[in-house]
Structure formats: structure tokens, C-alpha cells
Amino acid sequence: MKAIGIVGSPRKNGNVDTLVQAVLDGAKEAGYQTKKYYLNEMKYQGCQACGYCKSHESCRLEDDVTNLLKDIAEADAVVFGSPIYFHRFTGQFDLMMDRMYSLIDTGFKSRLPPGKKAVIVTSQGNPDLPMFERAANEFAEILKFLGFEVTEIVRMASGGAPNAVLERKDLLEKARSAGRAL
Ligand SMILES: Cc1cc2nc3c(=O)[nH]c(=O)nc-3n(C[C@H](O)[C@H](O)[C@H](O)COP(=O)(O)O)c2cc1C
């Protein structure tokens, strides 16, 4: 069994990274092999709207997201993590998300095999947690459309400092147990 984590924050070891890692640690305990991608360290383009993926099986672009998309297709579970930037996920994350369009076939059905599980992780600076929950909720709908079962959304507020999460033992445990339950 394979679980991959995707970190959409540019802050390595920041709140999202730490929470994604906690989910992966839990998944490891449950017997998964794990791997983590840092989008900020990868070179890739956004979707070019060329339509190639609707007349062929995959995206025409060949870059670092090509391998990630292959890994998503093979993985049993995926942890998607991003901070909230201006009410939505980061640009790094959104560019990757648009490339997931190539996981949809000509008939607008998912190309992914069924049975995949997903956990979403977000962190925001604002202490008002519900204020920015729309981004994760909308992304959960996209994942459901792609055939994922979204088993948990781990949301953190007051995450202005990159290590604020270390004080949040409750959230770290929630993330780890989400991983264990995959
Ligand atoms: C460009 C930018 C935009 C941001 N926009 C928001 C926002 O709209 N709402 C919010 O609560 N926090 C916002 N933040 C704060 C981050 O969401 C917060 O610091 C988050 O915990 C960072 O996660 P990380 O530690 O994983 O990088 C913004 C930060 C940056 C750099």
C-alpha cells in the first residue's frame, strides 16, 4: 500500500508540512509506504488547455508534475496539503490541481481506479477557523468527482508562525490518527 503527501506551502517544516507528515507517519504505522512531494521545489507548468488529455490518455506536458500525477494514479491514499493564501490554496497548489484535469477522460469521467482515499490539510493565519473553510470544502468536491473518498480534513487556524502547529498536540494527533485510519 502506498500513500503520498503533497505539500503546497513554500515553508518547509511549516504547519502544513508538519501536519502532512503527521498523516504520513500514521499511514506508515498502518503499513503504508510513504513519499512526500514539495511543490515549491518542483518545476512545472499549469494546464495549457490544449485538450490533448481528452484525445489521449495523459497530459502532453512532461515535467515534475507528470511523475506526481503518475504517483497519484498508483497511490492508495493521497494527503493534499496547502496553506490558505487570500481565501484559497497557494498558487503552487492550484497549478498542480489544474493539471489533475488530465485525470478526467473524454466523457468527463475519472481515469483513476476507484477506492482511493484522501486527506486534506490546511493552515491559515486567521484565528477564525470557519472563515476560510471554503477552499478545502471545494477541493473535497473536486476529489470526490475524481473518485476519491475524502476521509478527513485537518484544518489549522492561527498558523502565522511556521512552528505554531507544535503547540497543537490535538491537531497533530488528529492528523496522525487520520493517517492510521487510511
Ligand atoms: C500570500 C499570503 C496570503 C495569505 N492569505 C491568508 C488568508 O487569506 N487568510 C488567512 O487566514 N491566512 C492567510 N495567510 C497566512 C497563512 O495561511 C498561514 O501563515 C499558514 O499557517 C501558513 O501555513 P504554512 O506554515 O504551512 O506555510 C497568507 C499568507 C501569505 C504568505
Shortest-distance Cα residue to atom 5 of ligand 1: 85
**What confidence category does residue 141 fall into, taking pLDDT thresholds of 50, 70 and 90?**
very high
Cell 502544513 identifies what position? Answer: 16
CA dist 143 and 21 (Å) reads 20
Contact 156, 15 (CB under 8 A): yes
Bridge partner residues of 118 (DSSP): 78, 150
Ligand 1 binding pocket, CB closer than 6 Å: 9, 11, 14-17, 83-87, 123-126, 132, 159-160, 162
Percent of the chain scoring above 90 in pLDDT: 100
Q: Which domains does the chain have, with CATH numbers?
A: 2-180 (3.40.50.360)
Query: What was the pLDDT predicted at 117?
Result: 98
Phi, psi of 105 (to 5 degrees): -85, -175
Q: 143 pLDDT band (50/70/90 cuts)?
A: very high
Q: What is the pLDDT of residues 34-66, one digit of tens each?
A: 999 999 999 999 999 999 999 999 999 999 999
Q: Is the pTM of this model over 0.95?
A: yes
- Please give the pLDDT value at position 15: 98
Pocket test for ligand 1, best of 15, 36, 85, 90 (most atoms within 8 A of CB): 85
Mean pLDDT on 80-108: 98
The answer to whether the CB of 46 falls within 8 A of the CB of 100 is no
**Which residues, in sequence order, are CB contacts of 148 under 8 Å at separation 6+?**
78, 112, 116, 117, 118
Written as one letter, the residue type at 52 is Y
Taking the centre of ligand 1 as the mean of its atom positions, its distance from the CA of residue 38, in whole angstroms, is 17
Q: Is residue 18 classed as helix, strand or coil in its secondary structure?
A: helix
Contact 101, 45 (CB under 8 A): no
